[in-house]
Amino acid sequence: MMGRMDEHRETVTPFAPQADPAALADLRARLHATRWPDAPEGAAWSLGTDLEYLRELVAYWADGFDWPAQEKSLARLPRFRTTVGGLGIHFVHVRAAAPSRRAVPLVLCHGWPDSFWRYTKVVDLLTNPGAYGGDPDDAFDVVVPDMPGYGYSDIPAGAPLDSRDVAGLWAELMSRLGYATYGTAGGDIGSHVSRYLALDHPDRVVGVHRMDGGLPVYSGDPADLTEEERAWIRDAQSWGGEEGAYGAMHRTKPQTAAFGLTDSPVGLAAWIVEKLRAWSDCGGDIESVYSKDEILTNVTLYWLTGTIGSSMRMYHANAALDPAQRTRYVETPSGFSIFQGDIVRPPRAWLERTANMTYMSEPERGGHFAPFEQPERYAEELRAFFRPLRG
């Protein structure tokens, strides 16, 4: 099997969290006691989260949503905790169903506003493709860690970590799990983590798959860019002006927003649900892509772990990265699946300018959370990219 080293099992412990009933009772009480804002008649989603929709969702959260059942569903995935870089890290780890020397170890990197939740639908598809009509030789050993300050991983006590810091932790984690070489894939912040894994550990990363090209950073002469690249930069700037207020808050004053979002479950839901709807390929109907249970599982993970503030602070850390880091060319074979329903979609010329692109696809369905929205297609994208890179 590709990239296997000796394991150090004594440092890795199984993890199966169960919420304190008192925490669930407190959540329910807070939901029932919500002080709702007003909203202009007919505003719907035009000014942010729709009041009518959120009232409906919260009523279900308070009196219909079964968190223990969702915990049980998540527990079908083997989950563990270990200490890396002085921080307790939670992760999913599932080996290929049929061990093979061609199985690629793969670390999947999530973004915001999510956690290991982003990949819960694709783990089985990637580790056991033969059970879904695929080629067993396309199997992966899959590792899905929660970044520090997200999900069930520890919150850094001091300065928040940036994407490059997290990449260093994941390199150590993969060594801990016994993998000398591996692939990586990610989207959103996870796209940057994957990129830094390839940049800083090129002797270990056999390939990096990303769902975006990041926001454009270019200090050269615009005349040297293609028209498609210039148009993309303009579009990204326009998107930032219209949709980027959340990011400005995260980068500059995340702690201010954290007070309200940590204290109010409805405020937390409003902050997250609006992004799930806006960034997904749902045509404005969020429940055409996610069930209420799926939405609330993601939101409840944030609530019970108290990680909304720490997750936002990572934007502040990333904003402080040396600009030179953001323009490093990725020599490692790089694949891109740019889903049609995603935001700020880069052109081929930009991807070729910034990375050793060996694969590009533009799936017709799926958005920012494609592993959850279109799990079968996402799994096939990873299989197609990594197939020539297998041992």
What is the reported pLDDT for 10?
53
Runs of H (alpha helix) within 150-226? 163-176, 189-200
> CA 335 to CA 199: how far, in whole Å?
14
Q: Is residue 331 part of a domain?
A: yes
What is the reported pLDDT for 218?
86
> CATH no. for residue 341?
3.40.50.1820
Q: Is residue 45 part of a domain?
A: no
Q: Is residue 333 part of a domain?
A: yes
- Which amino acid appears at position 74 of this protein? L
What is the reported pLDDT for 58?
98
Residue 298, CB-side half-sphere exposure with 13 Å CA sphere: 27
Closest CA relative to residue 173, chosen from 100, 119, 106: 106
Quick one: tokens of 146? Answer: 């929660």
Phi-psi region of 225 (alpha: psi -120 to 50; beta: other; left: phi over 0): beta
**Which is catalytic among the residues 188, 212, 281, 342?**
188
Closest CA relative to residue 78, chosen from 142, 2, 174, 128: 142
Q: Is residue 44 part of a domain?
A: no
CB atoms within 10 A of CB 374: 23
Residues 6+ apart with CB under 8 A from 137: 100, 102, 390
**Residue pLDDT tens, the chain, 391 long:** 455 444 444 599 999 999 999 999 999 999 999 999 999 999 999 999 999 999 999 999 999 999 999 999 999 999 999 999 999 999 999 999 987 778 999 999 999 999 999 999 999 999 999 999 999 999 999 999 999 999 999 999 999 999 999 999 999 999 999 999 999 999 999 999 999 999 999 999 999 999 999 988 888 889 999 999 999 999 999 999 999 999 999 999 999 999 999 999 999 999 999 999 999 999 999 999 999 999 999 999 999 999 999 999 999 999 999 989 999 999 999 999 999 999 999 999 999 999 999 999 999 999 999 999 999 999 999 999 999 999 7
What is the reported pLDDT for 2?
55
Residue 358, judged by CB atoms within 10 A of its CB (0-12, 13-18, 19+), counts as middle
Q: Is residue 39 part of a domain?
A: no
Q: Is residue 2 part of a domain?
A: no
Give φ, ψ of 338 to 5 degrees: -100, 95
Quick one: tokens of 65? Answer: 């949503």
**Which is catalytic among the residues 150, 182, 246, 315?**
315
DSSP β-ladder status, 205-210 and 330-337:
parallel
Q: Is 119 known to be catalytic?
A: no
Are the CB atoms for 116 and 151 separated by under 8 Å?
A: yes
What is the reported pLDDT for 85?
96
Helices (H) and strands (E) in the chain, counts: 16, 9
Q: Is residue 375 part of a domain?
A: yes
DSSP β-ladder status, 355-361 and 330-337:
parallel
Tell me how many domains the chain contains.
Answer: 1
Quick one: tokens of 92? Answer: 């999913």
Residues 6+ apart with CB under 8 A from 263: none
> CA 117 to CA 390: how far, in whole Å?
27
Q: Is residue 295 part of a domain?
A: yes
Give φ, ψ of 48 to 5 degrees: 130, -155
Task: Write the pLDDT tens digit of every residue in 228-263.
Answer: 999 999 999 999 999 999 999 999 999 999 999 999
Residue 325, judged by CB atoms within 10 A of its CB (0-12, 13-18, 19+), counts as middle
Q: Is 63 known to be catalytic?
A: no
Domain that holds residue 268: 9-32+53-389
Q: Is 209 known to be catalytic?
A: no
